Amino acid sequence: MFVIFALVGAVFGFVVILGFVKSGATEVFDRTLLLAMRDPDNIQNPWGPRWVQEMARDFTALGGFPFLTLLTAALAGYLCMGGKKALAAIIVVATLIALLLSSGLKHVIDRARPDLVPHGQHVYTASFPSGHSMHSAATYLTLGGLWARFQRRRRIQWFILSFAVLIPLLVGISRVYLGVHWPTDVLGGWAAGTGCALLTLLFARGILSVSKIVEEEGAAVEHAAAASRESRKYGSR
C-alpha cells in the first residue's frame, strides 16, 4: 500500500512541478539556485576548485545512457541466468519506457536549457525533465528496491536503499552544478523517475509472488510424488 501511495505522490509531484514550470512561476527559484552554485566573483565558473568540477562530471556520468544501459544489461543477464526471465524482461522494458517517456516529454515541453552560464557538458536535447535525473532515479531505485527485497536484515535493506537514493541525488545536483539544467528540470526528473521505479517494483513484486507460489506448488507436487513412490515401494514388499 505504501508503494501505491508513493507512486501517486510521485506522479502528482511531477504534474505540479510541470504546471509551475509552464506558468513561469519557477524562474526566480531556478535562477537563484543555479547561480548559488557559481563563483560569486565570476559566474562563468562553477563553485569550488577544479577537482570539484571533475567530480561533478564523474557523478553526472552515473546517470548517463551508456552507463545505465550497461548496468541494466548486466542485471538482466544475471537474472536470466538465474531463471528469472520475466523479472529481467520487466526491468529492461521499464528502462526503455523511462527513456522514451523522457524523450517524449522533452520534445513536447521543449524548455530551453539554462543560458545564464556556460554549459559544463555538451547537450543536445531540451531541458525538462532532466534525462539524467529521471533515468538514474528509475534505474537505481528499481535495482535498490529489488536488491533490498532479498535481504533479511533491516539494517542492510536501509543501507542499500540509502545508496539507491543518494546516487540519483548526486547525479541531479551535478546537472545543475554543470549549468546544463534548471533545478526544476532535476526535480521533475526525480519525480518522473521515482514514479517509473515504483511502478516497476509493483510489477516485479507481482512476478515474485507468482513465482513463489509456483515454486511452492511444484515442491508440494514433487513431495507428494516422492511419498507416493515410497508407499508403492514398501507396499510391493
Classified as helix, coil or strand, 48 is coil
Predicted pLDDT at 128: 93
- Contact status, residue 185 vs residue 130, Cβ threshold 8 Å: yes
Which of the residues 107, 119, 135, 181 is marked catalytic? Answer: 181
Predicted pLDDT at 167: 96
Q: Give one DSSP letter per residue of 90-133, joined into a string.
A: HHHHHHHHHHHHHHHHHHHH-PPPP-SS--SS---S--SS-HHH
Whole-angstrom distance, CA of residue 188 vs CA of residue 191: 5
**Tens of pLDDT, residues 61-116:** 999 988 999 999 998 898 888 887 878 888 888 888 888 898 899 999 989 898 88
Below-70 pLDDT ranges, the chain: 206-237
Predicted pLDDT at 116: 80
Predicted pLDDT at 221: 41
Is 181 known to be catalytic? yes
Predicted pLDDT at 215: 45
Is 132 known to be catalytic? yes
Specify the amino acid at residue 111: R
Contacts of 176 (CB under 8 A, 6+ apart): 33, 34, 37, 182, 183, 186
Contacts of 86 (CB under 8 A, 6+ apart): 207, 211
Tell me the domain boundaries of the chain: 2-222
Question: Which single residue is written with the C-alpha cell 507436487?
Answer: 221
Query: In the 8-state DSSP scheme, what is residue 123?
Result: -
Which of the residues 107, 119, 122, 132 is marked catalytic? Answer: 132
Predicted pLDDT at 26: 92
Q: Terminus-to-terminus CA distance in the chain, angstroms?
A: 56
